[in-house]
Structure 1
Amino acid sequence: MDSMTIIAVASIVTAGITLAIGVLGPSLGEGRAVATALTSLAQQPDAAPSITRTLFVGLAMIESTAIYCFVVAMILVFANPFWNHFAAAAGQ
């Protein structure tokens, strides 16, 4: 197996692990945030606009973590910064 194949396999495996771990945390966080917001809405229905607005801002911030993991995985698969280094080393 040549070095380019090893880099390709390592990139794909790392991208998969990045997505698996990087999406697990935000998913659990979003579920907990929604459950807490629903509990708060049940206890204080008059504060619904404030709770809902705060919930959506918090969910957007939590979701950005999963989006960053997705971007890192796409960079590893399609625009890997190690390709040029190993291609230049193989050519020398």
Structure 2
Amino acid sequence: MDQTIVAQYSLIAAAFIAGLASIAAAFSDSKAASHALEGMTRQPEMAGKLFTNMLVAIGLIESIPIIAIVIALVLVFANPFLK
């Protein structure tokens, strides 16, 4: 009985982690892109450098939900709370 409850809460936590991480990444990606485009409109001569920096920033932002999904998968398949 206790094992089942822990497994159910682990699944709920994994879904919550994955969902929240994807929402946060989408928000952060849009914010990084909008600020880069804003900088490109203010200084068009820096557009190439700003675009490169934006791509690096978006790549770093996207690594966070990937790590969070790995943690969620550990909670589901290799749960440390189950005996």
- Match of 1:82, SS? coil
TM-score, structure 2 as length reference: 0.88
Q: What does 1:69-88 align with in structure 2 at a 5 Å threshold?
A: 69-83=68-82, 86=83
The answer to whether the aligner puts 1:65 opposite 2:59 as a matched pair is: no
1:25 CA drift (Å):
1.8
Percent identical pairs in the alignment equals 30
What are structure 2's unaligned runs of at least 5 residues? none
Using structure 1 for the length normalisation, give the TM-score: 0.81
> Which protein is bigger by CA-based radius of gyration?
1
Aligned match of 2:40: 41
1:54-73: per-residue Cα shift (whole Å, max 9, x none)? 11111111111111111111
Partner of 2:17: 18
* Structure 1 residues not aligned, in runs of 5+: 87-92
> Following TM superposition, where does structure 1 have runs of at least 4 consecutive aligned residues deviating by more than 4 angstroms?
none
Give the root-mean-square deviation of aligned CA atoms: 1.2
Residue correspondences, number: 83
